[in-house]
Amino acid sequence: MSSPVFADPAHASEGREPLFALALTLTVVAIYGQTVGYPFIILDDPGYVADNPHVLGGLTWAGARWAWTTFQEGNWHPLTWLSLMLDAQLYGRWAGGYHLTNGLLHAANTLLLFRWLRVTTRSPWPAACVAFLFAAHPTHVESVAWVTERKDVLSTLFFCLTLLAYTRYAWGGYGRMRYFWLAWLFYALGLLAKPMLVTVPPLLLLLDYWPLRRFPAAAIREHWLRLVVEKIPLGVLMVGSCVVTFLAQRTLAVVPYERLPLGPRTASAVLGVGTYLGKTFWPTDLSIFYPYWRGVPPWKPLGWGIVLAVLTVEALRRWRRQPYLVVGWLWFLGTLVPVIGLVQVGGQSVADRYMYLPHIGLFMALCWSGQEVWGRWPVARPWLGGAAAVVAAACLALSIRQARFWRGNAPLFAHAVAVAAHPTPWLYRLHADALLATPGRESEAADACERAWRLSPDARHVSNAVMLGGLWLRAGRWQNAASLLDPLAARPDAPAELLCTLGDSLLAGGRNDRAEAIYRRCVERMPGVAGGHFGLANCLRLRGDVPGACDEFEAGLERRDDWLPALTFLAWTYAHLEGDAPHERALTLARRAVEVSRGQDVGGCTAAAAAEAALGRWPQAIDSARQALDLASRPGIAPGVAEACRERLTAYQQGRLP
């Protein structure tokens, strides 16, 4: 039997809708209002926004062309890029603006979902409960509080609009085909925001059964074929999106079957669905990253497989009497298929963000089951109402708490390490990078990296040793760095980064001769590595070999022309040599130093002033010297530096070299 009209009948409590909508909106504000004050995080946000010149340039024709042609970040989602560009146009680099847009999109998704459910089922209370769980479930925090996950909230917006337009088409009326093509357009836009919507055509077939009720009881088989054929235009989009997504991800993130065969993938998929079910009902220890399963006993995936099979069979058995069970359960399972790990992308086992859309089906099954209990057993109503209140309060409290972890890099990744069963070196490294993003926490970052080194056998390879040594060096613990890296440097295949970090550690400890030997070995074996030349130049400078230091600094700058210490040293040295040629070179290097430091380095401005004075360009020298004095007068700069800058400025004003 088909539903007669799209609009609600008079008895559907339409007057309550504004109250429900207000309550749902306030729920979103209570949880995500705090995120407007949050920064970008170091994972993916730089590539998506903070360090992406295409996005930060705002909405331009060049940016739009890039958005439609790039596979950056291993995805093709031009609409997501364009939405971030629009935010950049409005907010610039203010992270709070991007968080605000995510929050507004989440609120819109919540209200549209409530509207669709209330209209199609004519049951306002279950519809409101589903929308509340969608708005407030703690596992959805990642999709909203992470700027990078704009693709989640944006694609779901178009998904909800697809549902509304498709329902208008399905329930007939004047001009019904225009609503089908409107649904097609919304679906295309959703795929352009995130390809996870590839399962929408089969999902719409499920919804044809319930709540749209387009399967007449007397002719199910005939209508089934017609409804499948009807989805072909949507299926074309689905297939096209799958192909483009595979092309975008295959070279960057897809794990080949040689490394991860089908058997382990299937076991991982079953464990993943079980994990998602568990986190639905007990949403604690949520994390931005769950390392891939390791050391899982075989009985676990087997046990979860049995549970999932029983739930599926039971839902199918009740398909006539309780259609919301089979529709909700298959919605949950079906929309997880693209992200469950059969095609493994990245190193995570599961991700909270993957539950944003699948959860709707599970919530529908739960809430309509609750409505049935409410109607059939009045004696259970007080218990059901009390349980609903407890669940609502718990979701709200846990989501507010979970959102607070996103207030900065350090708390977010500290929490991820704390809740991980088997923290990976990569996760520890993210934690270390997060601590380094906060001034004064270098020692804590080194400790975080050291824990990975001590606890995880996977961490004990050269790249992590170099990272740990570098962190120890930044924390002032050069002895630790040298002790760790010196034995590894004896290996004939020791990489340049290890040799340079060891040399820097030895140099910091005053062991100049040993450091010089390490740097020379690096330069001889790998002359293209700038760090070896710069390190050797510092050693030569410290033992008074200025010409040799200049040669090495120049060699280093040929490989990397933005190393500020080399630029300022050479500019200052050449400015005090005889002849116009060294002075011109000094001025070129000094200007590059000013450019690299964006005019914020005292040494660069001082060197520029010296070079300009050596060439007799006194007005320019005076301007550069004034800039150097202004910088040297800031808090935290040693008083002697400002006094020296003042003496040089006075000399230039008198038309003489100091």
Q: CA nearest 539: which of 523, 525, 528?
A: 523
Distance CA 410, CA 407 (A): 9
For the four alpha carbons of 558, 559, 562 and 564, in that order, the dihedral sign comes to: negative
Angle at 463 (CA atoms; ends 542, 564), nearest 5 degrees: 35
**Averaged over 603-608, what is the pLDDT?**
85
Distance CA 636, CA 169 (A): 68
Query: What's the number of CA atoms in the CB half-sphere (13 Å) around residue 276?
Result: 30
Distance CA 156, CA 176 (A): 23
218, burial (CB in 10 Å: exposed 0-12, middle 13-18, buried 19+): exposed
Distance CA 45, CA 59 (A): 18
Domain(s) of CATH 1.25.40: residues in the chain: 572-658
Res 12: pLDDT: 44
In the numeric block, the tokens 């890029």 are attached to 81
Q: Where do runs of H (alpha helix) occur along 561-601?
A: 564-575, 580-597
CA distances from 258 to 74, 253, 255, 344, 350 (A): 20, 14, 8, 12, 21
Helix (H, G, I), strand (E, B) or coil at 57: coil
Res 49: pLDDT: 95
In the numeric block, the tokens 């030569």 are attached to 540
Secondary structure string (H, E, C) spanning 400-452: HHHHHHHHCHHHHHHHHHHHCCCCCHHHHHHHHHHHHCCCCCHHHHHHHHHHH
Secondary structure string (H, E, C) spanning 456-489: CHHHCCHHHHHHHHHHHHHCCCHHHHHHHHHHHH
pLDDT greater than 50 at residue 327: yes
Distance CA 121, CA 110 (A): 16
CATH code given to domain 572-658: 1.25.40
pLDDT band at 9 (very low <50, low <70, confident <90, very high): very low
Kindly report the backbone phi and psi dihedral angles of residue 497, in degrees, each rounded to the nearest multiple of 5, phi listed first.
Answer: -60, -40
Q: CA nearest 269: which of 345, 210, 200?
A: 345
Reported as a single tens digit per residue, the pLDDT across 555-599 is 988 888 888 888 888 888 888 888 878 888 888 888 888 888 888
Q: CA nearest 472: which of 513, 422, 436?
A: 436
Phi-psi region of 438 (alpha: psi -120 to 50; beta: other; left: phi over 0): beta
CA distances from 371 to 377, 381, 393 (A): 10, 10, 19
Reported as a single tens digit per residue, the pLDDT across 394-442 is 999 999 999 999 998 889 988 888 888 777 767 776 777 777 666 677 7
* Those residues with Cβ within 8 angstroms of residue 23's Cβ, 6 or more apart along the chain or in another chain: 128, 132
Which of 143-152, 347-356, 380-389 shows the lowest mean pLDDT across its residues?
347-356
What does the chain come to in residues? 658
CA distances from 285 to 402, 418, 429, 444 (A): 9, 9, 20, 22
Residue type, 474: R
pLDDT greater than 70 at residue 460: no
pLDDT greater than 90 at residue 543: no
pLDDT band at 4 (very low <50, low <70, confident <90, very high): very low
Of the two residues 374 and 263, the one the predictor is more confident about is 374
DSSP-assigned beta bridge partners for residue 291: 348
pLDDT band at 534 (very low <50, low <70, confident <90, very high): confident
CA distances from 329 to 270, 324, 652 (A): 15, 8, 80
Measured distance between the N- and C-terminal CA atoms of the chain, rounded to whole angstroms? 96
Which of 3-12, 25-34, 271-280 shows the lowest mean pLDDT across its residues?
3-12
What is the value of pTM for the model shown? Answer: 0.77
